Structure 1
Amino acid sequence: MRPVIGIGMVGYAFMGRTHSQAWRSVDAFFDLPVKPAMVAVAGRSAEATAQAAEKLGWAHAETDWKRLLERDDVQVVDICTPGDSHAEIAIAALEAGKHVICEKPLANTVAEAEAMAAAARAAAARGVRSMVAFNYRRVPAVALARRFVEEGRLGEIRHVRAQYLQDWIVDPEFPLVWRLQKDKAGSGALGDIGAHIIDTAQFVVGRSLTGVSAITETFVKQRPLAEGSSGLAGQGGTGEMGEVTVDDAALFIGRFEGGALASFEATRFAAGRKNALRIEVNGSLGSLSFDFEAMNELWFHDHTLDAAEGGFRRILVTEADHPYAGAWWPPGHGLGYEHTFTHEVKDFIEAVAAGADPAPSFEDGLRVQKVLAAVEQSAAEGSRFTDVEDS
C-alpha cells in the first residue's frame, strides 16, 4: 500500500478544471511513489463550489481556502486563482506546512513574488516544497528541445524567437473579465501569455534574460461590464462600459546570459491564432522550431550535415523514449493540452515524495516576474533598454 497524499485546490474555473483533470488521471498513467487523493476544493460560493466538487471529482467542498490549511488530510495546496490572491494563499499554506503548486505568473508584482520566494526558501528548510505551474515545460516536444540544447546539438545559442498569439478578445464587445483588469491580473497579454514564452525560452536555452527593450499597446480601451464573468468567457453584460487597464499586446527584444539575442511577441489580437505558442532557437550547429498548435511535432535542422541533405525535418514526438510520451499511447497517437498538466503534477508529486525541490521553483517564477517588470518599465520609458533585476 502506497502512502496517500491529500490535495486541496483553490479555484475551480478554467485552471481549476485543467488541474482537476490532471489529478484525476496522473495515478492511472504514471507509477507514482505516493497516491494523490482529491480531498477538497475551495471557492467562495457554497452552491457553485459543491457543484464543482461533484463534477470535477473532489471529495469535499470548502467556502474558505483557509479551511484547507486546517485539514489534516490535505498535504498539498494547489492554487488556481487569479494572480491577486497567489501571494496570500501560497505564503499562508507554506507557513502551515503544506506543499504548494501555484499557477503562473507567480504573482502580480515583483514584491509579492519576492515574498513568495522567501517563504518558499524558509519552507524548504523544513522539508516543505513548492512549484510554479508553467505547464508548457511539460509538452514532450518542448522537453525534447531542451534535451537537444543540453546535449549540444545546437552548439552555441545565438538567436531565440518566441511568440504567443491568441485572438479571444479581438471582438470589442467581449466583456471586461478579470483578465483585463490590472488589479486582478497584474498585466494583460504580457503576464497572461508572455510569462509562458519567457519561461519556455529560458527553460529551453537554459539561460536567463538579462535585459529588454519593449513596447505595449491596449487596442480596445473600454469594454462592456460583465456580471459574474471569469476566465475566458463573459456571462451577460450590464450595458455599462469599463476601462481596460492592461495591455492587449506586448513586443520586446532581449539579450540572454552569454549574449544570445531574442525577440518576444505576446498578443491576444492575432485574428485566427487560437493558442500559437511558438519558439525557434538558432545555434552555431543547428536550429529547432516548435508551435503548440502542432504540439506533437518538433522541427530540427542539423547544420553539420551537407547542404544537399540539410533543412528542417519533422520529429513526431510520440515515441516511448521521448519525454513523458511513453506513459501514454502507442507511437503516432498524439497528446493534447490537458496532458501537460498531468505531467506537471506527476513531476511535482515525485519531487515531493523524494524530498527534492520541484522545478520550476518559486525562484524561477520570481525570475520571470522580474522580466515582466523590466518589460513594463521599458515600455513606460519609451522602449529604453532595461536591465532585468538580478535574482
Structure 2
Amino acid sequence: MSTVDEVGIGMVGTAFMGAAHSQAWRTVGRVFDLPVRPRMVAVCGRDEARTAAAADRLGWSSYETDWRALIARDDVQLVDVCTPGDSHAEIAIAALRAGKHVLCEKPLANTVAEAEAMAAAAREAGTVAMTGFTYRRVPALALMAEMVAAGRIGDVRHVRAAYLQDWLVDPASPLTWRLQAEHAGSGALGDLGAHIVDATRYLTGLEFTAVSALTETFVTERPTGDGGTGAVTVDDTALFLARLSGGAVGTFEATRYATGRKNGLRIELNGTRGTLAFDLERLNELEFHDGTRPQAEAGFTRILVTEPIHPYLSAWWPPGHLLGYEHAFTHQARDLLTAIAAGADDSAARPAHASFDDGLAVQRVLDAVASSAADGTWTTL
C-alpha cells in the first residue's frame, strides 16, 4: 500500500465536464473515507480571464493557461483531462511520461492509432490511467454488473442499448466543436455510442466481434458565430447490429435527433435465466425479471437501488433518498484515488476500471462501426 497521503489534482478543461469533475473532487473527501486525500491544485484553460473565473467558481487553488505548465508542476500528481478529443492523446501521453496518474474523459481518443499510443504509454508509465466512462459508477448499473456476474440472468443472449438526445433537432443550433470531425472525431457515435459500447462490455464481460452499421447526418450546415455557416462533418445518428463473444447479439442506437429525449440511455440484457434493464432517466432503479420463478409469479420486479448494501451507497443517504447524475463522478473519483493508493500494479487496483485498454477496446468498436457504415458491409473486429 502506498504511503502517499495526498494527491494533487491538475485539471485541463473548464466547461461541462470540467464542472462535473470539479464537483466530484470537491465532494469525494467529504463523503468517503479515502486512503489518500485529493487536493485541487490547479485548473487549466486557454483564456486567462475565463480560467481564473472558473478556478474561483469551481474551487481550484490556482490556474494555468498552458497544460504543459500544469503537467510540469511538482504539486500535481494526477492530471484530469476534460478537453475535446483532439487533444486527449497529446496531453495524456505527456502526463504519463512525466510520471503522473491520468483520468481522461471518453471517448479516449479520436482515432484507434491515438488510443493505441495512449494505452501503450499507460502500460509503460506504470501509473494509474482511467478512462472516464462515468456511468459505470451509477449504483444501479454497478449492481446490474454484479447480478450478471453472479449468473442471475444466465448466459446473455441479447443486448439492446440506445442513447437518445435531442439537442440538435433545431437546424438553427450553432456549429460547435462537437460537430467537427477534426475536434470530436465523430458525432453521436463517439459522444453517445461510446457509452453504450462500454456499458455493454462492463455489464456482460463480452467483447464485440463484428458490427453492421449505418450513420446519417441530417443537417449538414449550421450557423457560426460570425454570421456565416459551417459544415457539419460528423454523424448525427449511428445505428448498428453487433455480434458479441459467446454467441450473444446486440442492437445499438445513438442519436442527437430523438425529439423529446434529453438524456435517454437505456440498456436491456436478455439471458437464459432472466432479464435486467436500466434507464438513466430512472437512474436509481433496475428492472429484473427472474425467469426461474414459477409462471404464476412471473413478471418484472422494480429494484430501488438505494440500500446501504448496494454499490457506493453506504456513504450516502437513508434508503429511498435518491442520488443524481453528479454522484457517479464522485464515485469515479473515489475509485481512482483508491487505485492510486493501492498502486497501479496491485491487484487491489481494480477500481481503476475503465483502464486505457478499455478505452482502446471501445475505440476499436467505434472505428469498426464507422468503417461498416462507410462501406455497407459487416466489419469484423
TM-score range, shorter chain: over 0.9
Residues 6-31 of structure 1: per-residue CA shift (max 9 Å, x gap)? 00000010000000000000001111
Letter in 1 for 2:247: G
1:281 aligned residue (245, 266, 269): 269
Structure-to-structure mapping, 1:302-317, within 5 angstroms: 302-317=290-305
**What letter corresponds to residue 251 of structure 1 in structure 2?**
L
CA contact (8 A) 2:140 2:283 kept: yes
Q: What is the match of residue 271 of structure 1?
A: 259
Aligned to 1:370: 364
Distance in 2 between residues matched to 1:303 and 1:94, nearest whole Å: 47
Q: Displacement of 1:238 after TM fit?
A: 2.2
- Kept in 2: contact 1:2–1:35 (CA 8 A): no
Structure 1 SS opposite 2:136: helix
The counterpart of 1:99, out of the listed 98, 101, 117, is: 101
Once the two structures are superposed, what CA deviation does each residue of 1:281-300 show, in whole Å capped at 9, x if it has no partner?
00000000100001000000
| TM norm structure 1 | 0.94
Question: What is the CA deviation profile of residues 186-214 of structure 1, one whole-angstrom value per residue up to 9, with x for unaligned ones?
Answer: 00000001000000011000111111000
Measure the CA separation in 2 of the matches of 1:160 and 1:34. Answer: 38
Residues 222-244 of structure 1, C-alpha deviations (whole Å, 9 max, x = no match): 1001xxxxxxxxxxx32211110
Contact 1:248 / 1:268 at 8 angstroms: preserved in 2? yes
1:84 maps to: 86
- In structure 2, the residue corresponding to 1:72 is in which secondary structure? coil
Unaligned runs of 5+ in 2: none
Match of 1:234 in 2: none
- Name the counterpart of 2:207: 208
The one-letter code sitting in structure 2 at the alignment partner of 1:238 is: D
Moved over 2 A (4+): none
1:17-32 to 2 correspondences below 5 Å: 17-32=19-34
Structure 2 letter corresponding to 1:353: A
1:381 partnered with 2:369: no
The CA distance in 2 between the partners of 1:372 and 1:69, in whole Å, is 30
Unaligned runs of 5+ in 1: 226-236
* 1:2, distance to aligned residue in structure 2 (A): 7.6
Q: Deviations over 1:131-176 (max 9, x none)?
A: 1000000110000110011000011110000000000110000000
Identity of aligned residues (%): 64
SS in structure 2 of the partner of residue 313 of structure 1: strand
Aligned length: 373
Q: What SS is found at the alignment partner of 1:239?
A: coil
Whole-angstrom CA distance in 2 between matches of 1:84 and 1:27: 32
Residues of 2 paired with 1:292 and 1:201: CA distance? 14
- Find out whether 1:69 has 2:71 as its counterpart: yes
Question: Which whole-Å CA distance do the structure 2 matches of 1:149 and 1:44 have between them?
Answer: 44
* 2:42 matches 1:48: no
- Residue 287 of structure 1 aligns to which amino acid in structure 2? T
CA-based RMSD of the aligned residues comes to 0.9
Q: What residue number does 2:59 align with?
A: 57
Give yes or no for contact 2:4–2:341 (8 Å, CA) kept in 1.
no
The AA in structure 1 aligned to 2:161 is A
Name the counterpart of 2:193.
194
The aligned residue for residue 177 of structure 2 is 178
- Residue in 1 aligned with 2:158? 159
One-letter amino acid of the counterpart of residue 284, structure 2:
N
Question: Is 1:249 the equivalent of 2:249?
Answer: no
Q: How far apart, CA to CA, are the structure 1 residues paired with 2:367 and 2:234? A: 13
The SS at the match of 1:238 is coil
